[in-house]
Chain A
Amino acid sequence: MKRAHYQYGIDRSGKNYWRSLGELSKSPEFQEALEREFPEGAAELSDGFSRRGFLSLMGASLGLAGLSACRRPEEKILPYAKAPEHLIPGKPLYYATAMPFMGTAIGLLVESHEGRPTKIEGNPRHPESLGGASAWVQASILDLYDPDRSAAPSEKGTARTWEEASAFLTKLGASFVEKKGKGLVILTEAHRSPTLAAGLAALLQKLPEAKVVRYEPFTRDAARQGAALAFGRPLDVTYALDKADVIVALDSDLLQTEGSPLKSARQFASRRIVHEPGDKMNRLYAVESTFTVTGASADHRLRARRSEIAGVLSALAQKLAQKGVALPAEVLASKSAPLAGKAEKFVAALASDLASKPGRGAIVVGHSQPAAVHALAAIVNQALGNVGQTVRYVKPFDAAPEGPAALRELAASMQKGEVEALVMLGGNPVFAAPADAQFAQALARVGTTVHLSSYLDETGAASTWHLNQAHYLESWSDVRSETGLLSIVQPLIAPLFDGRTEAEVVELLLGTPRKAYELVRQTLQAERGAAFETAWKHALVDGLVADSEYAEEKVEPNAQAVAQALSALKPVSGLELTFHADAHAFDGRFANNGWMQEAPDPMSKLTWDNAAGFAEATAQKLGLAEGDLVELTLDGKTVALPVVIAPGQADESVSVTLGQGRRQAGKVGTGVGHDVYPLFGSQTPGVAGPVTAKKSGSGYVLARTQEHSAMEGRPLVREGTLAEFEKKPEFAKEMVESPKLASIFADHEYQGHRWGMVIDLNGCIGCNACMVACQSENNIPLVGKSGVIRNREMHWIRVDRYFEGAGAEDPQAVFQPISCHQCENAPCEQVCPVGATTHSQEGLNDMAYNRCVGTRYCANNCPYKVRRFNFFNYNKEVAEISKMRMNPDVTVRARGIMEKCTYCVQRIMHARINTHTQGKDRVADGEVVSACQQTCPTKAIHFGDLNDPNSDVSRHAKLPRDYQLLEELNIRPRTSFLARVRNPNPELEGA
C-alpha cells in the first residue's frame, strides 16, 4: 500500500529501499511489530526516570540560576596569587599528548581552560590520528572526571595511603630478591610504552626468575603469528591504504575497531574523493560475517561465516594463480570447500581486480582470524607485490603473545600454585579473561595480588591490594604507534585522585621510587642521547618524536609452514559464535562512560546494551524474533542475550560483543548489557562453536535511537555508481523536482560571513566520532536507557543509517549525519512565540536558551527533527568533579528548554573576536572549525563562509554532487550533502 504510493514523484534512485526484514517477508505480525517503533510493552515502561541517579554524574550545571534573571548573589573573584606562565584567564591552551589505545598511539591536541582539560581533538601532525579522533578517544575525557574512579589505594577493602602502598610494594619487590623473583608475575595490558618496558626490563634484570605477562582481549597476536608462519619471525603489519586501488577487508573492521582505524579511515577516504567526472576512486571489497561500518563502506560485500573466511581466501588464491599470479604451490594445495553462486562470482571478480593491479592492492585480514589466514594473506600480498607498497611489515614492539592464550598459560601456572605474587598493571582480567583460563579461581590461589586500575573493579575487588591508577591525561608516559612512532603522553592536569602510572609502580617494586616524568625523560634520553633536550621540546610541542618509526622489514615467504597451518583449519560445524569489540564499552574499559553507552551502535543503533545478532533466516529457523531473549550455550556455559535481527549477518553465525555486562564498573556501567566473556575462549579467540541457541524469553526492550531503517523511497541519502556519475555528474540534484519556490518573507542580506556546511556522504563511514565530539564540545546531557526508549536522546548531530538493496540477507547500508541545517527560511524561527530562535546576521539559526519558554513548536515544525528538548533537568545534582569537564564557552541548558546544533557558534565568535583584535575584518577560511568537522576521521565535513567564493566549503558546495536535503520545502538549508558514489566492479554489477 505504502510502497505502491511512491511510484510517482520523488523516487528516481531506482533502488529498492526497504523498511526492514518484515517488509520483504510480508509477514503481518512482523509488519505490525515494525510499524511500532518499539513493542507496546516497551512504551509502557514508564520507569520514567529511574536511571536519573547516574545522570547526576553526567554533565554539569554552571548554576543556571542565571536563567531566571534573579537577584544578584554575592560573588567572589579569586585571582591567582602568583600567575602561572602562558596562562591568560579566559583563553584556552592546547597541549599535545597521545592516547595509548588499540595497540597504537593516537596523537591528540587537548584543549585546556584555566588548567582543566575540556576537549580532546586529534593532532593533525600525528600520522596515527591525522587530526581525527574516534568516539572512544573523544569520550576518554569523560573518564578523567568520572567520580567513580577510586581515590586511594586499598588493602582488602580498607583504605590505605600511597605511603603505605609504596612501602608494601617496595617490601614485596625486596622479598623476591633472594628467590631471584621466582613466583613473581607482572601482568600488564598490551602496552606499547618504552618507559614501562624499560622498567620491566630493569625488574627482570634484578629478578631474572620473575615473569612478565601481557594481556588484552583484542590484540594483534594472530597477525603477528601469521607473519611468523609466513616469514619465519613475528612482525606487525601496517598498511598504506592511500596507495591501494583495491582493498580487501577479510573479516576486518579496519575503519572502526582494528589496526589503526583513524589512519586507515583517512587513507581509505582520501581515495574516494570524486569531484569532477574523470576523478578516480579506490574499490573496497569486504568479506565478513557481521555487518560492520567497513562493510557498509564497501563497494562489494560478501557475507561469509567467520570460520569460512579461510576458505574464501584460499579460493581467492586459487583464482589468482589461474590468473597467473605466482603463488607457491604448497598454499594452493590446501583445498577448501569450493565456493558457489555469488561467492564464486565475487571471488572471481575480486581476483581479476587484484591481479590487474599488482602492487596497488591490499588484503587486510581481521584480528579475529587465525594465524594461518593472516599468513596466507601475507603470502598473497607478497605474490601480488603489495608488500612494501600498500602492506608493510615492522618489528613488533614486544614479540611475546598478548592475547587470551598468554593469560590461559598464566592462569594455569597460578592454578599450579607457581605464582606467589601477581602484580596487575591496568586491565581487568577477572572480567575480561577467556573463560577457559578460569582466571578468577586461579587468582584466589595466589598469595599476594596487586591491581593497579582507575576503578575498584571486578579485579580490584578480587585482589589483596588495589592501587588507583592515573588517567593518561594526568600522567607522564610515552607510547609507540603501530609503526613504532614514539609519542610523549603529556599530562594536562595533576592527578585528580592522586593516581600512579604503571611505570611508577614498577619503580616502587624496584625500590627506586622515581617520578614518571624522570622515567619518561630518561627513556627518550637513552634513545636520543646528545640531541635529547631539543628532541624533548619538539616532542612536547609536536606530540611526536621525529623519525622514531621502526624500519620496514624485508620478508621472505615460507609457504611450507603456511600450508600446514592452513590444513589444520576447519569451519565450525553448525551455529558459529563470533566475538566483536562492543561499540560502547570496547572490551569493557568504556563501560562506565555514559557518552559511549548512549552513542548508538553504528549498525544496530542499539544503546545502553549489547545483543546477539542473527541473520533473519537463522533466527526464523531457531524460532527467534527481535526482542526475544536467547540462551547461547557453549560447552556447558550459558549466556542469555536479547536478539537483534542483523541485516547482512551471515547465516549460521551469531555475533556477540564483549565488554558489556560489567558487574563492578561504576554507577553508570554496572549491570548495563550482558556479559559474554563466559563464552569467550582462548583456543580460537574470535570464533567458537557449534553453539546452541534457545529462546528463553521475549518482550525485551531494546533502547534504539533509530528503529526505522528504510527511506520509504524518499531521496534522503542520494547515491549513484561511479559510472552514473561519469555520465551525469548532477544526478543527485535531479532526484527531486519541485515547482518554482517563493517565500512570503523577505530574503536576508549578508554583508559579512554566511556560514555553511557541506557533508560528503562518500566520506562518512558512520563511526559516531562527530556525535561524541559534539557532546563533549557542547555540554550535551545524557538521558539514560529509559530516556532513549522514550526517544528523548539529546544528540545535536546524529548519524542516520538506512538499509537498502534487494534482499534482507544482503543489504547495503548508507549513513547520513544530520544536525541543524540552519535553514535560510527556518520553519522553527517563524513559529516561536517569544522569538527565542532567530536568524543571525551571519545566517545562523540562533537559539537563545535563556529566552526559550519551551512550547516545543519549533521542534514540531523542524523537518529534520534535530531540535532537542530538555524534558527533565538532565544536569541536576552534578558531582563537582564532573563540572570541570564542561566547556565554559557553552551555556549548560536547564529543564524545559529547546536546544540544537549551533554550528559551534562559540568557536565562530572566538574566531571573529580574534580576527578583530588583530585588526582584521573578515575571519579567514579555516579559522572556524566545528567540533564535528575537527574530529571527523575522514574529513567528510566541510565548514566555512559561503560568502567567500574561495573557501573550502564554497568550493565543495559548487560540486556537481552537491544536493540539499528536503530543499523542495523551500526551507533553503545551509547544510548540503555531496551525494554518495560507489565504485562497483563492472564484473559484479547488479550482484
Chain B
Amino acid sequence: MALIELRGVRKVYEVGTELVRALDGVDLDVERGDYLAIMGSSGSGKSTLMNLLGCLDTPSEGSYHLNGNAVEKMSDEELAGIRNKEIGFVFQTFNLLARTTALQNVELPLVYGGTGRAERHQRAADALARVGLADRAKHMPNELSGGQRQRVAIARALVNDPSILLADEPTGNLDSSTSEDIMALFDQLHRGGNTVVLVTHEPDIAAHASRRVTLRDGKVVSDVRNGR
C-alpha cells in the first residue's frame, strides 16, 4: 500500500450562495521516498490539496489513507495527533513563533507529542544540526535571516520523524540564491529517505522533484516523472 492514497477526493466550499469545487475527484498515490511537486496556478486547488494532505482539513467526499489510516473518518483530536506524528509542515512565511528561541520552536511538535524535556532538547538540537543551524539554537526568529528562519522551520518539520515533509511554496519569500540553498536541503533530505511533497507554481523549484503533478480546476491534469 502506498504511503498516501487519495481516491475520488472532492472538496466543496460554500462561498456566499455559490458552491466552489476546490477539488473535483482527485486520485493520487504517493510512495514512501517520493519527491513530489504539486503544481498549478492560483485557484487550481493545490492549496486545498495541501491542506487535505496535511490533515488540516478533511475531504467532503472520497477517501484519504495516510500510512494505512483512513483520515476522512478521523475526529479533530485524531487529526491533531496525525499532524503531530506523521506530517512535517514547511510554510512560505516560515510560521515560527515570535519571542521563542529557534530551539524552542523546533521543540514544539515534541511538546505536543508529550516527549520529556531532556529528550526534547536533544532531538531538537539534532534537528537544528541537520539543517546546519546548531550554533543558532538560542537565537530568536527576528535575529535570523529569511533562509535561516526557513531552516529552523524545516528542522521543526523534521524533528518528529514524520512520514511526509509537506512544503507550501517554501522559497516564496526568499531570494534566488537562498532559495537554491533551501532546495538543496530538500534534495538532501529526500536522498536521506524522507518523503517530500512540494506545493509550488515555480517550474524551476518543481524541477527539483522527481515527479510533477499538475492541477487545474480541482482536477489532476498531468502526472509526470522527471527521470532525473
The answer on A and B forming one complex is no
Q: Which residues of B contact A (CB under 8 A)?
A: none
